[in-house]
Each structure stands twice: as structure tokens, then as C-alpha cells.
Amino acid sequence: MTMLRRSRHRFLALLGTAALALAGAVALPGTAEAANILSNPGFETGSLSPWSCSGNLGSIVSSPVHGGSKALAGAASSSDTAQCTQTVPVQPNTTYSLSGWVRGSYVYLGVDGGASTWTTSPSAYSRLTVSFTTGASQTSAKIYLHGWYAQGTYYADDVSLDGPGGGGGSDTQAPTTPTGLKSTGKTSSSVSLSWTASSDNVGVTAYDIYSGSNRLLSAPGTSATVSGLSASTAYSFTVKARDAAGNTSPASNSVSVTTDAGGGGGTGFKQAAPYLYEGWGDPPNPTTVMSATGIKWFTMAFVLDSGGCNPAWDGSRALTGGVDQTAINQIRSAGGDIVPSFGGWQGSKLGANCSSASALAGALQKVIDAYGLKAIDMDIENTDEFENEAVQAKILTALKTVKANNPGLKTIITFGTSTTGPTYYGNRLIEQAQSLNANIDVFTIMPFDFGGGSDMYGNTVNATEGLKTKLKSAFGWDDATAYSHIGISGMNGLSDQQENTTPAIWTSIRDWANSHHIARLAYWSVNRDRSCPGGGVVSNCSGISQSTWQFTSITAGFTG
């Protein structure tokens, strides 16, 4: 960000999205009901077998996954595409449907000597589907996945080859029906299931988990976890056993489970946290502000990259031991706390510069450890982060990692908006958060420098309602759940576009935020929360007439 302009946005048409509202239990998207004759199709055994990968370049990973808890990673090099294959018995003169979920640059799925398909999807899983018909005397088929030369690691999950198994039809006996299906645990985005094993005259090779008629994933044993679900939503599951010949048992008993409420309002997380910046704008003593206003939380700006994916305040001030830690200690001594903000409009950013999601997660963890944090904010802006699809995915994956490694940590992403809701890039960020199952607690928009004109209240409300609509569409949430995942981060007084958010307007925005029970209210910045009518857009005052710390006092009245 610049010192005054935290954000500016491209005004692009919103991408149209379609949502299907279903009453009662929800059936998840999946493959049509049929027998999957592949073994270890979702890699849930934790090993490659019976898949075989060229150059020993295949491995099993726990992130990113499409379903369950494991996926295939193929590390394509400059000389090897990391092809992974499995050969299965098939029947002659028979049509089969091959599909799989893949992620990466130039990922291929096909059958050796026959049909194939490919896609490029570097930051989210996409489904590939291709059909083929076996020859008159063909009794086996080699299924393959591979990346492309020098395009990096690809991922694959939930591969399916639907059709009758081979063996000339000698085994036509289906396994017995699985029994005792039950839920053994749940979160806001996953349900764990277990059941009693089936028996078979030859042997059960896998269990397929269904929601309605849609197969979600396959498991080698008698338990599985279905992930990527929406919070506060009812789902119905059944399980079928399958043998090597493709014979499938009848469905088990059905079990209905409602996922937990999501983060944000669903867990009581509410945060009034205006931005405080120690590197600019005559930073005030935070305890003075706290005493005068009742504010308890501050968003501390900005953690950047000091080089080599190492976090530092503004990229130059030491992470600990300097003015920033002094301010944090003062805030905590007065009974408050802070959430650090990573990124912003400009500077050398960790999200853009760290080489991988795991490296970025390591940098975030350093800050979490240094301050024992309860929440972190990623301020995703500009072309290097907000408008870069791969960097968006890197940030979201890193947030997913640190959230998993730090129970109770709340994750916030902050990004620009149009007056009617998320822009193209904002929509893509939300869609990637859903696809990656990043479990973000708060999606915070910045309704300023966005063409708000003279109606900053109305346009802020419209933008927030647009965000709510997008969250409902992406995650399947109801209104209340969507609101509970929303934040608003404004700009007090004059913005770079000369939009004017007065104390009265900010009060109305706060009241609207309270009445709709959103999760977070912030503004840029406490440094500017001082009067200077006619002073223009400057670092240490708002450019309008106001009382000292008036916007902070208003913000302190946010309770959600």
C-alpha cells in the first residue's frame, strides 16, 4: 500500500455464478453412480500401490486434497512428466468412463493407446472426464496421469474408472451390505464416518461413500472423512462395498449429519480492530487511545518480507524488540490484543515472495510464535497478490496450514471491492478459498477508493450485501452464516478518491454491521483519527472536522 492509499481496484464486471438451493439434506456434486474398478483411487491408503510412477517422482500428500485426507503429487521435471499408471482388468467391447480431479499446470488423464484429456488449473482442483471403448479382445487397460516437462508438481485425487470389471464375468457375486454406518466426528467443513465391514466371495477392494446418488470418495477400509463441506448444513451419507470385478453391494443404512457452524460469528468471534501503524503518521500511544475510546483490539500494520521470506514490520523493523513490540506490550498490558496484518498495497510482500505455500506458512508461524497470536490478517492487494491467481492460492494454502497447526487461530483475508460486491479478483479469491477448503474465518472488504462517491453508507452496504451473496453461492451458507464470516474495513474521513466517510456515516455503518451480526469492523487508520478540516488526504489526520479518536470510539461500539 501507499502511505495513504491502502487500496485501489480495477472495475471489472462480476463473473456470473449459479447456485442451486436445496431444502433439507444436500447431495454433493460427484460422479454418476457406477462401479469404480480402480484400486486406491483416492490414495487414502497413504501409499502409491498399485499405482506406479516414472522416475520415482510420485508421492502421497495430505495437502492439497480434493476429497478425503490424501492425494497424489507428481513432481514433473525438465526430463520426466512424472507419469503415474495403474493397469486394471476390463471387458472387451465395453465403454468405460474415466474421470479424476487434478490440479497443476498441464495435467493429463487418459488410457494408454487410447483417449486422453488435459487441463491447466494451477490453483484449484478441476475435474477431467474422458470415455473410451475397449477393443474386441482387450482384457486390460493402463490408466495414466502425468504433468508436463518443467511445469512443476501436479496433484490428482478421486480418480474413477466406471464400468464392469474384467475377468470375463466369472465373478458376479456382490459383497454384502455394509452395516452400522455412523458419524464419528464433524467440523464446520468435514464429517468422519465409520461402518462395519462387508464380506465377499473373493474379497472387498474398496468402499464408496455417497451423498444421494453422487459418489464422493472411495476408502480402502471401514472409515473415511468427507471434507470440503459447508458449515451449518445437513448432509446424508450411505456406503457401498465393491469387489475387484466391479460388483457393488446395496447401500448401507443412511446417516444424516449437520456440520458445525463455521468460524466468525458461528464461534462467537467478533473483532473491532482499527489499523495502527508504527511506521508512519505520528503513531499515537495506544494506551491513550484505549483509555479514551474503550477499544480493545488493534490491527497492526504491516508485516512484510525483509528478504528470504523472513517477516519484519514494514520489511525493515525487527519482528521483536522494537517500537512495534513496545506498542503490542502496551496494548496487552491495558487488557487488549492485536492482530497483525500481512501485506497491503505495496512493499516486498511475503505472499508474493515466499517460494511456496509451506515457506509462507513458516513465515507466518514465526510471527504467530513471536506474539502468541489469536488471529492473523492477510491484506491481499495489487497485481502481485490480489490479481495473481497462483499467489492467491499460495496465501490461502498457507493460511489453511497455520490454522491446522494452531488450534483456535482465526484467519482473516482483506481485499478490495466494487460498490456492488467483490470484483473478478475478489470472486476468484472466494472461489479458491472454497475449492482449497481453506476454512477462512472472515472475508473483509475495503469499501473505499471504490467509486463510492457521495453515498458512502449506501455503497458500503451494497458492497457488503454483494459479498454476502457471493459467500452464500460459494459455500452454500444461509444469510446468517454468511454475515458471520464478513468484515468491513473502511477509511475514515477523506479517501484518495475524495470519498468522505464522516463520523455520522461511520456510525451508521457500525450500526448496520451490528444489526447484521458481521464478524469484524476496522478502518484505516487510528493514526488519521484526528481533525484537520481542509487538510487533505494526509497521514496523521482525517482531512475533515472531527473530535480526536472519534472514529475509534465509534468502532469500539461494534459488538456484532
Hey, what's the cell of 131?
470415455
Q: Is the Cβ–Cβ distance between 466 and 458 less than 8 Å?
A: no
Q: Is it true that the peptide bond before 356 is cis, omega within 30 degrees of 0?
A: no
Cβ atoms of 338 and 331 within 8 Å: the answer is yes
User: Does residue 153 contact residue 71 with C-beta atoms inside 8 Å?
Assistant: no
49: region left, alpha or beta (phi > 0 left; psi from -120 to 50 alpha): beta
How buried is residue 159: exposed, middle or buried, by Cβ count under 10 Å (0-12/13-18/19+)? buried
Residue 209: strand, helix, or coil = strand
Q: Is the peptide bond before 533 cis (omega within 30 degrees of 0)?
A: no
Number of separate helices (H) and strands (E) present in the chain: 10, 27
Q: CA 416, 385, 229, 408: dihedral to nearest 10 degrees?
A: -90
CA distances (Å), 159 to each of 19, 37, 41, 111, 295, in order?
A: 26, 10, 5, 12, 52
For residue 152, give the DSSP letter. Answer: -
Q: Sort strands 520-524 and 486-491 into parallel, antiparallel or unpaired.
A: parallel
Q: What H or E segment, with its residue span, contains residue 504?
A: helix 503-515
Q: Cα(391)–Cα(385) distance, rounded to whole angstroms?
A: 6
Other Cβ atoms less than 10 A from the Cβ of 355: the count is: 10
Query: How far apart, in whole angstroms, are the C-alpha atoms of residue 187 and residue 316?
Result: 40
Q: Which residues are catalytic?
A: 381
The backbone torsions φ and ψ at residue 294, rounded to the nearest 5 degrees and listed phi first, read 85, 5
Beta-strand pair 410-416/375-380: parallel
CB atoms within 10 A of CB 379: 31
Which of 195, 124, 126 is CA-nearest to residue 158? 126
Report strand pairing: 275-277 vs 153-162. unpaired
Q: Which residues contact 50 (CB under 8 A, 6 or more apart)?
A: 39, 40, 86
The most distant pair of C-alpha atoms in the chain lies apart, rounded to whole Å, by 89
Secondary-structure percent of the chain, ordered helix, strand, coil, rounded to 5 = 25, 30, 45
